[in-house]
Structure 1
Amino acid sequence: MTAIPFDHLLSLTDHKGTFEHALLTVPRREHGYCVDDMARVLVVATIEPDTTGLMNGLAGKALRFLNDAQSFNGACRNRMDVGGHWTDLPTTEDHWGRCLWALGTAAAHSDVSLVRKLAVIQFDRAAAMRSRWPRAMAFAAVGAAELLTVEPGHRAAVALLTDYVSTLDPPTGDAAWPWPEPRLTYANAVLAEAMIAAGVALERADLRDRGLDLLEWLVGYETSDGHLSPTPVGGRGPDDAQPGFDQQPIEIAAIAAACGRAADADPRSIWPETVLLAQAWFNGANDAGLTMWDPATGGGFDGLHADGVNQNQGAESTLAAMATMQLARRYTPVPL
């Protein structure tokens, strides 16, 4: 099993949290921290099998940050400035969903009992709320499904998943464009992943299979000449030319995560193969043929353009690269 370097992630992190942005490799402290990234930190730190004191320390820091972000009713702030002051009000937008995703993942995977216990307490608080945003609910549903793998029947998780399923529109019935939205936008794969996760957790084979079918369509739509070609920042509709730029590493990580979950529910080879395509995208098998991370430090580059790479190594892109590499290790043959 190949070790993943965490050097750059640690260099972006101080005693409060992980800075959101970087100028090349230098943290841009003036932009502060956000729950979106600290949720990703908690996931990466707690699913890492080669845990160390540093990883456990990162998990504890992320857990404290997410706890401080929550209000008493479960809604969540997102942004903290470098002085440690929250700059926004609690809401149930995407960061709330990512918070629940991370807490459920930590409860299921951390090897530190206190982290698992605190993650469940925080999950219960946040799970009292609901969101009108589809991706927020999808992230929250994935977290609830993770929690149910270690606490079957957990009341708040079951209720959240049940309410999530009730928000889903029926299938479009359009074989050419089965996607539940008129355009692909961002974090697309989590919509399919949440269906798979909820279908498995609630023993709803129909919902699991719908998620698998949507994910298979998305993988096919975002594959070109044997490599991944993800939806760019501006989105992608049925009549848009491909490839599109600027491509974001977080889209690749979302595809990898969804395919990793699909592989646990369906034995077909498409899922591990796509996880390895996601790894290959970071290593240069992409529309520009350019490497999208620094394997010496673990830093991820912020965007892929038609004419080059955005060399800044912010937290989101770094964590996207790390999460993808973590998943890819499951499916990489061990040398004899």
Structure 2
Amino acid sequence: MKVVYISTYVPRECGIGTFTNNLLESAKNIIQEVDIDYEVVAINDAGQLYQYPPEVKFIIQQENQEEYLTASDYINDTANCCVLEHEYGIFGGQSGIYILPLLSRLRIPLVVTLHTVLEKPSYNERAVLTEICKMASSVVVMSNKAIGLLQRVYNVPIEKIIYIPHGVPVFHQQQVAAKEDLNLMNKEILLTFGFIGRNKGIETVIKALPKVISRFPNIRYIVLGKTHPNVLKHSGEEYRAYLENLVDQLSLNKHVLFINEFIDQEGLLSYLSACDIYITPYINEAQITSGTLSYAIGAGAAVLSTPYWHAKELLKDGKGRLFGFKDIDGLSSLLTELLGDPTKLKELRETASYYGQQITWPKVAEKYINIFNSTVNAVHIHTPKKSVELNLEKLPAFSLEHIKRLTNHVGIIQHATYALPNYKEGYCLDDNARALLISLMAYKEYKDPMALSLMPTYLGYIHYMQRTDGKFQNFLSFNNGFLDKIGSEDSFGRAIWALGYLFNTAPCDGYYQLGNEMFFKAVQNFDSLRSIRGIAYTIIGICFYLEYNPNDEGMIERMRNLIQQIINEYNISATERWHWFEPLLAYDNAILPLCLLQSAKFLNDDTIISIGLKTMTFLENIILKNGYLSIVGNQKWYHKDKNISKFGQQPLDVLATVLMFDQAFQLTGQKEYLEKMYISFMWFFGENDLRISLYDYETKGCCDGLENYGVNRNQGAESTLSYLIAYTTVHKTFNNL
């Protein structure tokens, strides 16, 4: 069996890398008993080069998305089991999101070790960890507190969670010999080690020392470790300088020693063996695992700590003593008590040492090996989904809650800052047309009373924005000032789409009469449209009107002329390998095949159907080739014979794709299009390139898109309206089967 670890790794100065190296080396030492080989996929931080040991077979640059995907292929071809050492900060993207596409592509079992479990994660932190745990066969944690958090905050089933304590080295050196080696004989040694940063609370120990030194003048407090790389990057050595100044102010220069090194294992063991009292004065309780604390226990040190989560759990039953956060006097009292009572000090050390012998790296490695064996041999193996299960019951309930949040008496605000309306950006016709469409759809499909109450607001906005010549203005400021003289053809077409849908769905005659008036006032402008997407939206609106009045020959002829414009564009751009209407794929692409397929019901023309299906298949082969929807991003679009822009992907394009496959099913009756429609819709729920949901279960809104850093967490009108229209389309089609 071959096991591949994904982790930082030595010689990179990172606690996760050290953990992985210790675990792997210990596992190698018992390899004679089990036939397991180990490799490492190492995560590199930006711009750094390391001389990795031979077990590192693959390297991922932290912020290079493509290398994560290449790594998944390597792991699948190489290993029987994958182990992820997870810490948010070591992977690329927002909250380490780049690791999700790699894990989703694995065809082998996944074991995850969590080094951080947050009680109050951000939205993205929770989403990323939840997805990781869903894909894992086993989730290993190093404290019982983490077990409860995983169940309560991240909804991880208890049967997946395995507790294995943090491993510690086997300590051989006696304290006296260690002190001699370090030239610290006849000194009472206090020690804190690990990466240095403000959250470590080292100033608490320094401020506690004067009272203690007055009774025990031979004290030496050693602060062993470099400044944390992230702290160094953003704040430099500001914290270390503060501590050094504090030592000067308190005249403690003879008693406090800073060793600014990332010390090797042998040196660390010497300092731990030599120390009398080990102190972790952290200022925040939310630390689920502390390797430094575990090492101190393993060394048989008397440990004093603030009551952060891991310390409260690890130091119970006499393995150490606790003092309050930033409690200078409490720490002084404890130090004075223990240094003045050798018997108590010896008791603490012996209790800690006994426990430390139970959690040495070889013993911990055995537990991991047992997990690898049982995971690989288990019947259930994590594999990527070949297709999405068609199950509407798993979807959240339909809700217009976020749409209502964005709507006032004028209309729907077009943009949001997170889940709140951004009034500075005002309103637009595009979104109010979409909002009218979904309110009509929702009332027809669900009899939603909120849809009925919001409907006149959106209809009123469209009416307010229509000019005397039948065209529309698009943008309106929050103080109701017009921001353009004439709107885009896209916004015109979207308004016609919504007004066309109104003919068959108006809940009262007043709405029908106003919609009818606006629609026919705009008709005179149909023939002058030139934007290919504006034409497509208008065609869709005409199709809805013709469902109400299929005998309007004049309107059918107008639609035929508009369709011909789109076909002309296809004939100009299409080649043997490029079956499309333009020399690029830009935004809202699926709307173009959709309008052809939708018009086929009213235009008896095989050419229209043929081009509609041909261009749909061409688009499908680009955006649905990996078994999930990966739409063309708006960063650079997709120009013929060039690379596809992967980000930012927007919900608007997903909606068009859902509608396109739905219409293909309605036209052909082929059920394969149902599955493709549903797969496309599930983009909103994580079946996408970043493997993360854009639907927000708390706000009932939809995030604005997938960016190269992660999810754009703003929840503007276009995004949520696109989600809701797609949702209702899927719901209606499946309910009518």
Q: Residue 632 of structure 2 is aligned with which of 189, 213, 231?
A: 231
Aligned equivalents of 1:243, 1:123: Cα separation in 2: 37
Q: Residue 542 of structure 2 is aligned with which of 111, 134, 144?
A: 144
Aligned equivalents of 2:477, 2:554: Cα separation in 1: 32
Q: Give CA deviations for 1:251-287 in whole Å, capped at 9, x if unaligned.
A: 1011111222222211112322222012210000100
Q: Residue 421 of structure 2 is aligned with which of 27, 31, 43?
A: 27
Who is 1:255 aligned against? Answer: 657
Contact 1:288-1:306 within 8 A present in 2 as well: no
- 1:1-336 equivalences in 2 (<5 Å): 3-48=397-442, 49-91=445-487, 93-129=489-525, 130-154=528-552, 157-168=555-566, 169=568, 171=571, 174-233=575-634, 234-242=636-644, 244-332=646-734
Q: Give CA deviations for 1:274-333 in whole Å, capped at 9, x if unaligned.
A: 220122100001000011111344301011023310100000011111111112213557
Q: Which region of structure 1 is more displaced relative to structure 2, 115-124 or 181-190?
A: 115-124
Structure 2 vs 1, CA of residues 140 and 42 (structure 1 numbering), >3 Å: closer, same or farther? same
- Give the drift of 1:198: 2.1
- Give the drift of 1:92: 5.2
Gaps of 5+ in 2: 1-391
Aligned equivalents of 1:309, 1:148: Cα separation in 2: 40
Aligned equivalents of 1:197, 1:331: Cα separation in 2: 15
SS of 2:711's partner is: strand
Q: Give CA deviations for 1:25-52 in whole Å, capped at 9, x if unaligned.
A: 1101111000000011011111121123
SS of 1:313's partner is: coil
Q: Which region of structure 1 is more displaced relative to structure 2, 118-127 or 24-33?
A: 118-127
Aligned equivalents of 1:319, 1:37: Cα separation in 2: 8
Aligned equivalents of 2:552, 2:724: Cα separation in 1: 30
- Give the drift of 1:83: 1.4
Paired residue type of 2:423: R
Contact 2:637-2:644 within 8 A present in 1 as well: no
Contact 1:257-1:324 within 8 A present in 2 as well: yes
Contact 1:276-1:331 within 8 A present in 2 as well: no
Aligned equivalents of 2:476, 2:613: Cα separation in 1: 37
Aligned equivalents of 2:425, 2:574: Cα separation in 1: 44
Contact 1:192-1:215 within 8 A present in 2 as well: yes
SS of 2:638's partner is: coil
Q: Which region of structure 1 is more displaced relative to structure 2, 134-143 or 215-224?
A: 215-224
Aligned equivalents of 1:64, 1:42: Cα separation in 2: 10
Aligned equivalents of 2:515, 2:472: Cα separation in 1: 15
Q: Which region of structure 1 is more displaced relative to structure 2, 258-267 or 12-21?
A: 258-267
Gaps of 5+ in 1: none
Aligned equivalents of 2:585, 2:495: Cα separation in 1: 23
Structure 2 vs 1, CA of residues 289 and 92 (structure 1 numbering), >3 Å: closer, same or farther? closer
Structure 2 vs 1, CA of residues 146 and 4 (structure 1 numbering), >3 Å: closer, same or farther? same
- Give the drift of 1:200: 1.8
SS of 1:124's partner is: helix
Paired residue type of 2:447: T
Paired residue type of 2:556: V
Aligned equivalents of 2:500, 2:536: Cα separation in 1: 13
Q: Which region of structure 1 is more displaced relative to structure 2, 278-287 or 84-93?
A: 84-93
Aligned equivalents of 1:167, 1:333: Cα separation in 2: 36
Aligned equivalents of 2:502, 2:456: Cα separation in 1: 10
Aligned equivalents of 1:205, 1:113: Cα separation in 2: 38
Structure 2 vs 1, CA of residues 293 and 161 (structure 1 numbering), >3 Å: closer, same or farther? same
Contact 2:637-2:645 within 8 A present in 1 as well: no
Structure 2 vs 1, CA of residues 40 and 222 (structure 1 numbering), >3 Å: closer, same or farther? same
State the percentage of identical aligned residues: 26
Q: Which region of structure 1 is more displaced relative to structure 2, 3-12 or 172-181?
A: 172-181
Structure 2 vs 1, CA of residues 126 and 108 (structure 1 numbering), >3 Å: closer, same or farther? same
- Bigger radius of gyration among the two: 2
Paired residue type of 1:32: G
Q: Which region of structure 1 is more displaced relative to structure 2, 97-106 or 254-263?
A: 254-263
Contact 2:494-2:534 within 8 A present in 1 as well: yes
SS of 2:585's partner is: coil
Q: Which region of structure 1 is more displaced relative to structure 2, 166-175 or 81-90?
A: 166-175
> What TM-score do you get using the length of structure 1 for normalisation?
0.93
Equivalenced residues, count: 334
Contact 2:429-2:491 within 8 A present in 1 as well: yes
Aligned equivalents of 1:259, 1:274: Cα separation in 2: 7
- Give the drift of 1:93: 1.7
User: Root-mean-square deviation (CA), in Å?
Assistant: 2.0
Contact 2:473-2:485 within 8 A present in 1 as well: yes
Structure 2 vs 1, CA of residues 321 and 182 (structure 1 numbering), >3 Å: closer, same or farther? same
Q: Which region of structure 1 is more displaced relative to structure 2, 106-115 or 211-220?
A: 106-115
- Give the drift of 1:114: 2.9
Task: Specify which structure has the higher proportion of strand.
Answer: 2
Q: Give CA deviations for 1:40-68 in whole Å, capped at 9, x if unaligned.
A: 10111111211233202222111111111
> What TM-score do you get using the length of structure 2 for normalisation?
0.44
Contact 2:574-2:580 within 8 A present in 1 as well: no
